[in-house]
Amino acid sequence: MTPRPASARSCVDTGRDTIRVGSPHSLSGTMAISEITVANATELAVDQINAAGGVLGKKIDLVLEDGTSDPKTFAENLRSR
pTM: 0.75
The total of structural domains in the chain comes to 1
Q: Is residue 8 part of a domain?
A: no
Q: Is residue 6 part of a domain?
A: no
Q: Is residue 36 part of a domain?
A: yes
What 8-state DSSP symbol labels residue 58? Answer: B
Q: What is the pLDDT of residue 25?
A: 92
Give percent above pLDDT 90 in the chain: 58
Q: Which residue has the higher pLDDT, 29 or 77?
A: 29
Q: Is 9 exposed, middle or buried (0-12, 13-18, 19+ CB in 10 A)?
A: exposed
Q: Is residue 10 part of a domain?
A: no
Domain that holds residue 50: 18-79
Residues 17-52 pLDDT 10s: 999 898 999 999 999 999 999 999 999 999 999 999
Report the pLDDT averaged over residues 47-72: 94
Where helices occur in 1-81 by DSSP H, the ranges are: 32-51, 71-79
